[in-house]
Amino acid sequence: MAIEHHTVVVVGGSQAGLSASWCLKQRGIDHVVFEKDRVATNWLNQRWDAFCLVTPNWQCTLPGFSYDREFGGRDPDGFMLRDEIIAYIQAYRARFDPPLREQCGVRSVKRQGSAYAIETDEGSCTADFVIIATGGYHRPKIPRSGGQLPADILQLHSSTYRNARQTGDGAVLVIGTGQSGCQIAEDLHLEGKKVHLAVGSAPRAPRNYRGRDVTSWLVDMGHYALTVDDHPQKEGVRRKANHYMTGRDGGREIDLRRFACEGMALHGRLKDISGAKIGFENNLAANLDNADATAARIKTEIDKWIAEHGIDAPVEAPYVPVWTPGGMPPAIDLEQENIRTVIWATGFSIDYGWLDVPVLDDSGYPDHWRGVSKRAPNLYFLGLPWLWTWGSGRFSGVGQDAAYIVACIAEGRSGLERRIA
């Protein structure tokens, strides 16, 4: 029997894979999309109940499917909740009926002559081109020190946290202050839970400033269009933590100092675990100060933009810290603090164990330029944070990345013509 062949195989059927499929379909290019679960499953299974976007809905602009026009959304300045995000993605799928095979995982991708051999849960196929659109959040990352915690402590990763009821009685220790850690700490805090938070070095951003959502200012200033090549940190920007803020209840910034005034216990970065004893680094004040400094720099950039363009915008008073740490204990005892749950908001690691093509660098990250593999012909990555711009891993920029990759395929270009060595 002849093995099924496609011009393009897309691995992953969420917003990135669907964006690629839209662009391929518009150009009449034969392809198939393999999705190991169902469309938007990760949004359902790896997000907590109150999860919402941190960027406004008007930034949801998947190819051919904007939030307001095609989806019919009525709150462009709001922030979609988890179930609305799922509905948005599912509606996008229904709009153009992609050649999607759900619950069909890809087990391996290998080079076979001038093409690729793909093994799936349903059998084998070959393709001239492969687009890997599985994103960058594959395996929950939990430090090995978690194994030192007492057996009766409930341990959750941010991807398995759902709501405060899940944590039962007692206080909760949240480790990590990226977007997920801060928002989960807030969720627990709003539900009346006693929360301890191990504060890391993630920066924070203001939510609104001088009469507008900060996202709107940053878009006007070109931050979302800034490419990896043009960024001062070049590819190093991909390792930066996202600024923490929230879109909850219409959107607000997260000020950990205010939480401390309201009873949340803040600590420095996690240092070590020895049974019920949790040690913290002596850097809480520095981490809070650095986060505030980042928010202040963003405001200063906006002030400069407003002045340079003669924009009439209300003036705001400078931020004044409402709380400063003093004499925080270097360690706590879980039993004494009645902490029964530890939530690891420590991110994810990537896993391309099924990709049997030498396309990763020494750290295991795809070696690419603008999604085009530098090490294998006709192989592409899509949906990674900072793949090309700040919006690459978001609803706002993934479509532009997909269009570039599909144009390379359609026009027979390598895609590396503008690569800066």
What is the residue range of 186's domain? 142-344
Helix axes 15-26, 82-96, angle to 10 degrees: 20
Q: What is the pLDDT of residues 325-337, one digit of tens each?
A: 987 789 999 999 9
Question: CA quadruple 229, 231, 237, 243: dihedral positive or negative?
Answer: negative
pLDDT above 80 for 359: yes
User: What is the structure's pLDDT at 414?
Assistant: 80
Of 324, 344, 364, at which residue does a domain stop?
344
Instruction: Judge whether 124 lies within some domain.
Output: yes
Please report, rounded to a whole number, the percentage of residues in the chain having pLDDT higher than 90: 95
pLDDT tier for residue 223 given thresholds of 50, 70 and 90: very high
SS3 state of residue 415: coil
Q: Are residues 37 and 93 in the same domain?
A: yes
Q: Are residues 76 and 132 in the same domain?
A: yes
Instruction: Judge whether 417 lies within some domain.
Output: no
**Average pLDDT of the segment spanning 323-348:** 94
pLDDT above 50 for 34: yes
Q: Are residues 134 and 236 in the same domain?
A: no
Instruction: Judge whether 379 lies within some domain.
Output: yes
Q: Are residues 84 and 9 in the same domain?
A: yes
Q: Are residues 28 and 147 in the same domain?
A: no
pLDDT tier for residue 416 given thresholds of 50, 70 and 90: confident
Instruction: Judge whether 114 lies within some domain.
Output: yes
Instruction: Judge whether 400 lies within some domain.
Output: yes
What's the distance, CA 354 to chain centroid?
22
Strand 115-120, strand 123-132: pairing: antiparallel
Q: Are residues 12 and 161 in the same domain?
A: no
Q: What is the pLDDT of residues 302-315, one digit of tens each?
A: 999 999 999 999 99
Q: What is the pLDDT of residues 53-91, one digit of tens each?
A: 999 999 999 999 999 999 999 999 999 999 999 999 999
Q: Are residues 251 and 211 in the same domain?
A: yes
Instruction: Judge whether 419 lies within some domain.
Output: no
In whole angstroms, how far apart are CA 92 and each of 13, 178, 377? 11, 29, 30
pLDDT above 70 for 421: no
pLDDT tier for residue 418 given thresholds of 50, 70 and 90: low
Q: What is the pLDDT of residues 150-183, one digit of tens each?
A: 999 999 999 999 999 999 999 999 999 999 999 9
Please name the helix (run of DSSP H) or strand (run of DSSP E) that holds residue 409, with its range, or none: helix 398-411
Q: The whole model's pTM is what? A: 0.95
Instruction: Judge whether 416 lies within some domain.
Output: no
Question: CA quadruple 328, 334, 337, 341: dihedral positive or negative?
Answer: positive
Q: Are residues 248 and 337 in the same domain?
A: yes
The one-character DSSP state at 380 is E
Q: Are residues 263 and 115 in the same domain?
A: no
User: What is the structure's pLDDT at 365?
Assistant: 95
pLDDT tier for residue 419 given thresholds of 50, 70 and 90: low
Number of structural domains (the chain) is 2
Instruction: Judge whether 56 lies within some domain.
Output: yes
Of 292, 317, 344, at which residue does a domain stop?
344
pLDDT above 90 for 44: yes
Of 296, 329, 344, at which residue does a domain stop?
344
Q: CATH number, domain at 400?
A: 3.50.50.60
Q: Are residues 187 and 88 in the same domain?
A: no
Residue whose C-alpha is closest to residue 394's, from 84, 137, 61: 61
Q: Are residues 165 and 107 in the same domain?
A: no
Q: Are residues 128 and 161 in the same domain?
A: no
